[in-house]
């Protein structure tokens, strides 16, 4: 069982199952902006395994593009997960919200072509060079 929460602790969740798919550092502009960090670290979790245990009324979302809802804690702004209408059986979890070790490590670096110039890629991890160069938005 995995547990997580928002920064202020009002929104809490648990995962009764495994994280699925690769654990990734994503360097795309959206993950940077949505996380407020140089990259976002994410992994998928099955919707059926994910449960909000406290603060559900605090959850808000915004639709970043059609069919993609990014859920965050309205009380403190912490991004928690995203839900894609096209793939309702999985959620994209922001791993920085975990309160425990998931027992796995990051496996790759995606959209590395969009990385910020002050971040060095981890040479031990594969990195795709997809993505528009920084800064791609004017």
Taking residues 10-14, report their average pLDDT: 98
**Does this model's pTM top 0.75?**
yes
Domains observed in the chain: 2-114 (2.170.150.70)
Query: What does the pLDDT read at residue 58?
Result: 98
pLDDT digits (tens, 9 = 90+) for 64-93: 889 999 999 999 999 999 999 999 999 999
Phi-psi category of residue 55: left, alpha or beta, with phi > 0 → left and psi -120 to 50 → alpha: left
Cβ neighbours of residue 12 under 8 Å, at least 6 residues apart?
A: 3, 4, 5, 6, 52, 53, 54, 55
Percent of the residues in the chain that have a pLDDT greater than 90, as a whole number = 86
Percent of the residues in the chain that have a pLDDT greater than 70, as a whole number = 98
Taking residues 32-60, report their average pLDDT: 96
Query: What does the pLDDT read at residue 25?
Result: 96
Q: Which of 28-32, 54-58, 92-96, 122-126 has the lowest mean pLDDT?
A: 28-32
Query: What does the pLDDT read at residue 137?
Result: 58
pLDDT bracket for residue 60 (50, 70, 90) = very high
Query: What does the pLDDT read at residue 133?
Result: 86
Taking residues 1-23, report their average pLDDT: 97
């Amino acid at each position: 069982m995995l547990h997580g929460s928002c920064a202020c602790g009002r929104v809490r969740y648990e995962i009764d199952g495994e994280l699925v798919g690769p654990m990734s550092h994503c360097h795309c502009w959206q993950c940077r902006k949505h996380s407020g960090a140089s990259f976002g670290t994410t992994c998928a979790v099955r919707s059926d395994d994910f449960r909000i245990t406290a603060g559900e009324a605090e959850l808000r979302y915004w639709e970043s593009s059609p069919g993609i809802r990014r859920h965050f804690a309205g009380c403190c702004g912490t991004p928690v997960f995203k839900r894609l209408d096209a793939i309702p059986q999985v959620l994209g979890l922001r791993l920085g919200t975990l309160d425990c070790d998931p027992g796995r490590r990051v496996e790759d670096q995606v959209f590395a072509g969009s990385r910020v110039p002050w971040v060095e890629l981890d040479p031990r991890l594969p990195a795709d060079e997809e993505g528009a160069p920084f800064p791609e938005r004017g």
